[in-house]
A and B are shown apart, each in its own frame.
Chain A
Amino acid sequence: MTELEHPGGPGSIEDRAGHESAAVAPVTQAVDGIVVGGEGAIADTTVAAGLEIQVRSQWSYARTRFLRHRLAMASLIVLVFVFAVGALANLVAPYSYATLDLANILHGPTTQGHHFFGTDEIGRDYFSRVIYGIRTSEEVGVFVAVLSSIIGLVVGAFAGYYGGWIDNILMRVTDLVLVLPALAILLTISALLGSGSQWRVSLILAAFFWTGLARIVRGVFLSLREKEYVEAAKAAGSGDIRIMFRHILPNTLGPIVVNGTLAVATAILTEAALSFLGFGIKPPLPSLGSLVVSGQSNPQQWWLTIFPGLTILVIVLCINFIGDGLRDALDPTQRRIRA
């Protein structure tokens, strides 16, 4: 069993959070700081006051709530499919993203020769390019989400746990990043360095995306470091790092997961915008954003605009729905399992 905290307001609901069954029966006291253990944490049935009560961990509640969230589940299925197609681009795409076919330029969508999305102005198969574009986008999105989550987590953990001057410095840096005009700075960096690989673009994006999570994690750490179980762990001789990452961290996993999921969407959108403006990923590697540029230069060929843009829209929409589903599922104040 573990405590799971809502990101908002330090100390707001934390007491309700850990003891999910407290209202029904005095079941097992929540043992703080035990690592989140999926199935393992589900206790067997407890007999209390003549009733059989199944004690469920926060995570099994969360999982059930998520699985019953129809929109989120549908989005998850669509997203897994789209991302799988992108990840397996080498196998799925009928052509390479750079194969020219000058005999068939600006050909409309057709099943002939598998040009499902038509061809672009130098005869490259657009279907294949969109698939490779998905691969680029998902690489950028996932990498940015993971990296920025790690940065935000570490910064927030240190700031919240130690407080004092460490907190002061780290939070001032966070404030600084927050007041920078993000897109303009991103454009400037990319323009001055020239367009680059998807990894460099991701690194630059991640440098801007960690601030929100850092603040949330800091808030949780600030309130939890005063808890008795942290004191107990200290008395038992645990070091700071161990307390931070083993005892307090699991309580921030909810916000981290939600934030990370939504960061994938924001990263994909931002990368697409950068690439559209010509300061993103270096051609000929297609990105969904740079593909839309072919649509801009050939406005009469509707497929060049519609397909890459629609792909971005679908991916981002799915991620946002999943993020919402996760937020609902991981919210410990929701005891009700959603129909």
Chain B
Amino acid sequence: MLTYITRRVLYSIPVLIISSFLSFTFVSLAGDPLGQLRLQPNLSILTLNNLKQQYHLDASIPAQYWYWVQDVFTHKLGISLVTLQPIWPDITRTLGHTLQIVLTAELLALVLGVVVGIFSAIRQYSFFDYWFTSFSFLGLAMPVFWLALLLQILFVDIYLKWHVRIFYTSGLNSRAGGSAFSLDRLQHIALPVITLMVISFALYSRYMRATMLDVLNSDYVRTARAKGLPEWRVVMGHVFRNALIPITTVSALNIGAVFGGAIITETIFTLDGIGYYFYGRLQALDVYAVMAYLLLTSVMIIVFNLIADILYGFLDPRIRYD
């Protein structure tokens, strides 16, 4: 197991290097890091050239990549050439906000998805099953941005009509510097969380239902029933535990999609999260900030892929790594 993990970690390193090199090459070829600065009328050619030299922008792409990698490690992702500010503080601040929203949404989606999946499977084709199956199909077909917009419009309308504030539709707190764990924050992040939750929930409940049905029809479940176990023990002790294995993997592999969804959701609800940060930096064509985001999300996806693989071996003793 340990050798397997080590090998997987070692294997992730070249993947990360190649993927970051590819995106770096593309981003620096297509976008001009100094493009925004060039637009400023009072900036002299001399300053530009100084900047160019200072940040090695006249070097070849592989050399630039090498300098960038050094910057990533020694200067915590380097500085943005658009704002001339370090990137790190922005990233840590926004990532914290995003994690709060994403983790809440994923946790709720997982718990609800698993519960609904179990009941849909043991009461297959019941009213409950049909209802949630339809809901999941709707959730999977729903464009995230449209759902976010509908929720936003709905709650703005409620406020305008009855002057009750149930949920806020933008920002993280009513006043700057508000607490991260307060009713006010909850009212702000509720709609983004619901938006992110719907799709994950639809996915997880479908998966859970399918695997539960699969396991329910297996031989050892028949054996368990035949030896006279009460139904709840069959379901909880034999079916549920085995049905959890695939959903663990699915939820770990879903991380990339969740971060993608966060870009859209945070942009619509103007939340100071990392997705919105990325979107803003992208519009400003801030090459190094964009690269920082891409690197960070790639690392996260790779780590979660690794976790998924390891968990899989841990949960399913039939899987042997060597």
Which residues of chain A have a CB within 8 Å of any CB of chain B?
Answer: 172, 175-176, 179-185, 187-189, 191-193, 265, 269, 272-273, 276-279, 289, 292, 295-296, 299, 302, 305, 309, 312-313, 316-317, 320-321
Q: Could you pull out 12 A-B pairs where Cβ atoms are within 8 angstroms?
A: A176-B19, A181-B259, A181-B297, A181-B298, A183-B257, A185-B294, A188-B27, A191-B285, A265-B141, A273-B143, A277-B263, A296-B149
Given A181-B301, A188-B294: A276 and B153 within 8 A (CB)? no
Is B103 part of the binding interface, using a Cβ–Cβ cutoff of 8 Å? no
Q: Which B residues have a C-beta under 8 Å from some C-beta of A?
A: 15, 18-19, 23, 26-27, 30-31, 137-138, 140-146, 149-150, 152-153, 156, 256-257, 259-261, 263-264, 267-268, 278-279, 282-283, 285, 290, 293-294, 297-298, 301-302, 305
User: Closest B-chain residue to A194, C-beta based?
Assistant: B30
Q: How far is the CA of A306 from the CA of B268 in the complex (A)?
A: 16
> Chain B's nearest CB lies how many Å from the CB of A3?
24
Known: A184-B297, A277-B264. Contact between A309 and B143, CB under 8 A? yes
**B264 adjacent to A317 (CB under 8 Å):** no
A184, B299: Cα distance in complex, Å: 13
Q: Which of B19, B30, B141, B267 contacts A277 (CB 8 A)?
A: B267
A180 touches B146 (CB 8 A): no
Inter-chain residue pair count (beta carbon < 8 A):
118
Indicate if the CB atoms of A309 and B18 lie closer than 8 Å: no
Contacts of A191 in B (CB 8 A): 282-283, 285
Report, nearest first, the 6 A-B pairs whose CB atoms are least far apart. Answer: A183-B260, A192-B30, A309-B146, A316-B141, A181-B297, A317-B141
B294–A295 touching, CB < 8 Å: no
Would you call B150 and A184 a contact (CB within 8 A)? no
B260 touches A182 (CB 8 A): yes
Do most interface residues of chain B lie in helix, strand or loop, or is the interface mixed? helix
- Does the CB pair B23–A317 fall under 8 Å? no
| Cβ contact within 8 Å between A276 and B260 | no
Closest to B291 in A: A188
Q: Is the interface of A mostly helix, strand, loop or mixed?
A: helix
Given the known inter-chain contacts A176-B15, A179-B301, A299-B156, please indicate yes or no for A292 contacting B149, CB distance below 8 A: yes
CB distance from B172 to the nearest CB of A (A): 20
- Bound Cα distance from A188 to B282, whole angstroms: 7
Q: Which B residues lie within 8 Å of A185 (CB)?
A: 23, 294
Complex Cα distance, B150 from A312, in Å, reads 14
Report if A193-B30 is in contact (Cβ < 8 Å); known contacts: A179-B298, A295-B149.
yes
User: Which residue of A176, A269, A316 is within 8 Å of B18 (Cβ)?
Assistant: A176
Shortest Cβ gap from A161 to chain B (Å)? 24
* Alpha-carbon separation in the docked complex, A182 to B140 (Å): 18
Q: Within 8 Å CB of A188, what residues of B?
A: 23, 26-27, 282, 290, 294
Which A residue sits closest to B18, measured CB to CB?
A176
- Residues of chain B with a CB closer than 8 A to A309's CB: 143, 146, 149-150
User: Which single member of B23, B27, B144 contacts A273 (CB below 8 Å)?
Assistant: B144
Docked Cα-Cα span, A187 to B276, in Å, equals 12
B293 touches A184 (CB 8 A): yes
Is there an interface contact between A305 and B301, defined as CB atoms closer than 8 Å? no
Sample of 20 more A-B contacts, CB < 8 Å, known A188-B26, A277-B264, A289-B145: A180-B298, A183-B264, A184-B260, A184-B278, A187-B263, A187-B279, A188-B23, A188-B27, A188-B290, A188-B294, A191-B285, A272-B143, A277-B267, A292-B145, A292-B149, A295-B149, A295-B153, A309-B149, A309-B150, A316-B141
